[in-house]
Amino acid sequence: MNASLPRALVVEDDPDIGALLSLYLQKAGFAPTVLTSGRDVLARARQDTPQVIILDLMLPGMDGIQVCRALRADPATALLPIIMLTAKAEESDRIVGLETGADDYITKPFSPNEVVARVRALLRRTQRAAAPDTRLVYGPLTVDIDRHIVQTGDDEVRLTAKEFLLLQYLMEHRGRVLSRDLLLSDVWGYSYTGGTRTVDVHIRRLREKLPLLTDAIVTVKQFGYKLVDAPPV
């Protein structure tokens, strides 16, 4: 395996799907590893940190939701980008996956090219967020884009990759009303088919993790959201 290539960890118990994803990821310039059991994921992610994890929901031994929770609870893996893959198409299943901490959600059957495109979009935005040496400040809230750290006062707050990018976007466009479609396009980075509830779930998670944003992120009914110009006193 070429150590210079970005690593992708595929967790899929169907050998045909795992082999297909591995093939397309290799063609796209990634170094994929395929696991078939959820129980092996945390140890492998700690040992050989991947740039992205493609995680099937239905796994033997430990399902994708449990794996996702374990990854988010471990400081060594808490910020890894996670794309959840599942045969379940119900909105409630997508929402559970996103609320658990997944950054994206793809429903089977899928196009392997779409999976690769979403992986690239997620990594592109994560890397772009880490490039400039700047900080965004909003009252006691500080977002260090260079180090990918969020703090309220002296306390660090752990956000997933997509939560971080959404917060960064809101802070960079404070005072503007942002539609859900615009947020999907600019933060998720492609023509997203998962529905605008994805935005709602991530906004709710930001409000829960950063209580300052509970009133600072204003819901514009049937349209989108706005981060007020100045934080509430």
Q: What is the pLDDT along the chain (233 residues), one digit of tens a residue?
A: 556 789 999 999 999 999 999 999 999 999 999 999 999 999 999 998 999 999 998 898 899 999 999 999 898 898 899 999 887 666 666 677 777 888 888 888 889 998 999 898 888 777 655 545 478 999 999 998 877 889 998 899 999 888 999 999 999 999 999 999 889 888 887 655 556 788 999 999 999 999 999 999 999 988 899 999 888 76
pLDDT of residue 147: 79
Inter-residue contact 122 to 161 (CB < 8 Å): yes
The whole-angstrom separation of Cα 214 and Cα 95 is: 20
pLDDT of residue 127: 67
pLDDT of residue 78: 87
pLDDT of residue 3: 62
pLDDT of residue 98: 78
- Catalogue the E-assigned strands of the chain: 7-11, 31-35, 52-56, 82-86, 104-107, 135-138, 141-144, 149-152, 155-157, 178-179, 217-220, 224-227
Instruction: Give residue 62's identity as a one-letter amino acid code.
Output: M
pLDDT of residue 131: 47
Domains in the chain, please, with CATH?
A: 7-127 (3.40.50.2300), 132-227 (1.10.10.10)
Q: What is the pTM of this model?
A: 0.66
Instruction: Give residue 93's identity as a one-letter amino acid code.
Output: D
Q: What is the DSSP letter of 188?
A: I
pLDDT of residue 195: 62
Query: How is residue 5 written in tokens?
Result: 């290539």
